[in-house]
Amino acid sequence: MSKLHLSRVAKFAAYFVIFMTARPVFAADILNSGDTAWILTATALVLFMTLPGLALFYGGLVRASSVLSVLMHCFAICCIASIIWLVAGYSLAFGDGGGANAIIGGLDKAFLMSVGPDSLSGTIPETVFFMFQMTFAIITPALIVGAYPERVKFASVLFFSAVWLLVVYVPVTHWVWGGGWLAEMGVMDFAGGIVVHVTAGVSALVFAVCLGARRGFPTTLRPPHNPGLTMAGAAMLWVGWFGFNAGSALTAGGGAGMAMTVTHISAAAAALSWAMMEWVKFGKPSSVGIVTGMVAGLATVTPASGFIGPMGGLILGLVSGVVCQWMTMFIKQNMKIDDSLDVFAVHGVGGIIGTLCVAFLATSTFQGLGLAEGATVGSQIWVQFVGVAAVAVWSGVASYIIIKIADALFGLRVSEEDEIEGLDITAHGERSYEL
């Protein structure tokens, strides 16, 4: 064999070795266009849940004279949350907090200063992850809007939502998803049962108690002014929730597909069980009831959606439709709390049910994907309970303090005359309808 030939063989062997050893590093750093496309889509779907989905869902449930104020609350919260998330929220939730990382992240990613177009979070651009998580930060305080319509001052809504996002939502997000103390404990919350629904539900209940009931509660309240608008908004929520839950897989694969499947099954089952409860109790199933049941099913399956199979989704849907429907009546009739659009009963209770039940529904007995290595059903239920209890207490206490500060600064409730006239004209100088 000639020296030239031997030289070529040696070069080829060297290139082959370099290629094979370098390939794993290269693969780990590469962007996946399929994952990116899916999360871009999921981001748009989750924003669609708030605007216009949640806004229309809530808007149809209030009086005609205050529907615009509800839409305004949701829209303004979207704007405020977006800026706060850019300035510090994202960094505190997902940044490295150093010695305090168990409690809160750092400010290394404030204003996205250290994030460029080529920065990656897993297989997707970090800017896409930032935007996806921003849509969660938008819808969570927007859910609380359902606790205080028709009687709250707009300035207090803005103040509460901004401070609440930083004081309640951001730390809890870090605890669960950002490497904080609940993540270290092994808490299971795939898409926000604790982070979104427990925080919003408990805070809404506290807000409703501090604000007081609407005029005429609970005997002479007017029915929802436009159930059709509510159903349209609910349909948008159902579609958008696929981005919420399946998007939380952060990949375009089988995990996202299963999360989407169980989400849909739970929503359908909860809608039917809620409607059947109404049918038995009142003789007629209502459109508002069936869509509220659907939302309860979606909220309940959210923390479990990445860990369970179709059987688990069916069970959660059937249970949530019955339990959440009963809770709406209990809170209003027995506790005499005017949580106007049932935020705690639907989202809070639903989130709690899903968070606790995932401990056993994730097992193979119920077609689940299994628990973490070394975990048992009993140990996991305890971890889930600690997560729910800690976040509920933090949300409740912090919300109470923020509400009292807002009341001292701006006043919490509008005058009786403004409440009678409706917030559309008194707070915003406009009317949704020419009545």
CA distance 49 to 47: 5
Task: Report pLDDT for 339.
Answer: 97
- Give the residues across from 388 on adjacent strands: none
CA distance 123 to 374: 29
Task: Report pLDDT for 221.
Answer: 85
The DSSP element (H or E) to which 276 belongs, if any, is: helix 254-282
Residue 194 in tokens: 């604790």
Task: Report pLDDT for 29.
Answer: 59
CA distance 259 to 305: 5
- The burial of 118, by beta-carbon neighbours within 10 Å (0-12 exposed, 13-18 middle, 19 or more buried), is given as exposed
CA distance 359 to 434: 52
CA distance 61 to 328: 15
CA distance 1 to 17: 22
DSSP assignment of 150-202: TTB-HHHHHHHHHHHIIIIIHHHHHHHHSS-HHHHHT---SSSIIIIIIHHHH
Residue 299 in tokens: 């909220």
- Give the residues across from 277 on adjacent strands: none
What's the one-letter identity of residue 340? S
Task: Report pLDDT for 435.
Answer: 60
**Cβ(118)–Cβ(147) under 8 Å?**
no
Reference 307, options 367, 265, 250; nearest CA is 367
Q: How many Cα neighbours within 13 Å face the side chain of 15? A: 6
> What dihedral angle (degrees, nearest 10) is formed by the CA atoms of 335, 336, 338, 341?
60
What's the one-letter identity of residue 209? V
Collect all residues with Cβ–Cβ distance below 8 Å to 399 and sequence separation of at least 6.
164, 168, 202, 203, 206, 207
Residue with tokens 């919260």: 77
Reference 271, options 303, 242, 313; nearest CA is 313
Collect all residues with Cβ–Cβ distance below 8 Å to 99 and sequence separation of at least 6.
none
Query: At residue 121, what are phi and psi to the nearest 5 degrees?
Result: -120, 95
Which numeric CATH code is attached to 35-428?
A: 1.10.3430.10
Task: Report pLDDT for 81.
Answer: 98
**Cβ(252)–Cβ(34) under 8 Å?**
yes
- What residue ranges do the domains of the chain occupy? 35-428
Reference 169, options 145, 151, 206, 144; nearest CA is 144
What one-character DSSP code corresponds to residue 178?
S
Q: How confident is the prediction along the chain (435 residues), in pLDDT tens digits per residue?
A: 444 444 444 444 443 333 333 333 334 558 999 999 999 999 999 999 999 999 999 999 999 999 999 999 999 999 999 999 999 999 999 999 999 999 999 999 999 999 999 999 999 999 999 999 999 999 999 999 999 999 999 999 999 999 999 999 999 999 999 999 999 999 999 999 999 999 999 999 999 999 999 999 988 888 999 999 999 999 999 999 999 999 999 999 999 999 999 999 999 999 999 999 999 999 999 999 999 999 999 999 999 999 999 999 999 999 999 999 999 999 999 999 999 999 999 999 999 999 999 999 999 999 999 999 999 999 999 999 999 999 999 999 999 999 999 999 999 999 999 999 999 999 999 999 876
CA distance 292 to 278: 12
Task: Report pLDDT for 118.
Answer: 93
Q: Is pTM beyond 0.75 here? A: yes
Dihedral sign, Cα of residue 36, residue 132, residue 257, residue 174: positive
Task: Report pLDDT for 1.
Answer: 45
The DSSP element (H or E) to which 94 belongs, if any, is: helix 90-94
Task: Report pLDDT for 21.
Answer: 36
